[in-house]
Amino acid sequence: MENIFKTINPNENLILANLTANELADFLALIDNYMLDYRTYLGLDPSVTYGLEIECDWLRKKPMQRFLARQNLDYISEEPAWQVTKDFSVPKGGEVTSPILSDSEVCWEQLNLICQYLKKHAKIKKYAAGHVHIGANILNDDTQKLWHFLNLWMTYENIIYRFCYGEYLTPRPRIMGYAMPVADLIRSHYELFQDLVQNNDSIKDLFREICQLFHRDTFKKNCRNEALNFNNVKDFHSFQIRNTIEFRCPNGSINPIIWQNNVNLFVNMLTNGVGALYQEDIIKERERINGRKYNNLNSYSDIYLKQALEFSDLIFARNIDKIYFLKQYLKNNEVSTKILKKAKPFTK
């Protein structure tokens, strides 16, 4: 099988919107024949931090703790590291939580070890989710970046959700109870948010309104059932423990490649997507065309190729990231309405 990166330079940026019909067909054919591999690192800014919550069914706490101890992953430099806890949302299982991680070979090796154990000793069934936390200081106290992020999420939420189904074609059954879509919430307060951005330089005012909308009451810890959780945010400038933006919509997974892809998407949304690659005219036109047209969780399982290609141009500056994103989004071009229907494998 031909390696796609013999044909396409992984570090260049092919603008997919500029491809002719024949060029695009050739590009998609290459993706269709490519199986994703686990990467040593993703090329993210080393200052970016993230954390993972790997929920699993049938996970036994004590054997998992013994495994972490054998691998020296339970304490690192006298600080708690990987931990296993009960989770009330997964009644016959639990979750493995990571320490603060970065884009390094060591961190990705740790995740791979965890996932290989879980593949043998746990399952992903109807309850499990996969939450990703990104250090909130990634936005560097920039009101404009937070505003750009809200626009991206509102306009491309259907693309994000299908991608976040991971190796599945549909969402977990209880996603509406724990990770509700928020595009309509943003639309309902769009003019208010826009006024705050245009008339006030303070990110705190915009953030306060977002929290009141998403969580009803700022820092109310039991209100975190939306796809985006801002309850942990202390500020958007300094690094602080547990100062994170939480992404709650991904399905559960014990495939480390899926976890890498999810982290890569969210980090790139909060860096390239809100900065150098942000194009307001394209986003506004897409919102005008789509608006509420596809704003239904049932429709999020469908494929919107043109919109997905557009989104990848707005988020990723390298071909390798676009290819990994599109492979997980397209899932071999399969669609289904069955609960947690698995796609044909697309990772090695």
Q: Residue 252 CA to chain centroid, in angstroms?
A: 12
304 touches 159 (CB < 8 A): yes
d(CA 278, CA 14): 16
Compute CA 49 distance to the chain's CA centroid, rounded to the nearest angstrom.
Answer: 14
CA separation, residue 74 to residues 67, 102, 111, 211 (Å): 9, 17, 13, 34
pLDDT, mean over the chain = 92
Per-residue pLDDT reduced to its tens digit, 205-237: 888 888 888 876 444 444 568 999 998 999 899
Residue boundaries of the structural domains of the chain? 4-333
pLDDT band at 294 (very low <50, low <70, confident <90, very high): confident
pLDDT at 296: 87
* Global pTM exceeds 0.85: yes
CA atoms of 272 and 298, how far apart (whole Å)? 29
Exposure on the CB side of residue 160, measured as CA atoms within 13 A: 29
* Of 276, 322, 309, the residue nearest 16 (C-alpha): 309
Per-residue pLDDT at 218? 42
Tokens coding 185: 């919430």
- Return the closest-CA partner of residue 31 out of 337, 340, 332: 332
Specify the residue for token string 């330089």: 201
> Where residue 2 falls among pLDDT bands split at 50, 70, 90?
low
Per-residue b/e over 218-232, b at no fewer than 16 CB within 10 Å? beeeeebebbbbbbb
The two three-digit tokens of residue 203, written as one number: 């990110």
| β-bridge pairing 228-229 and 244-247 | antiparallel
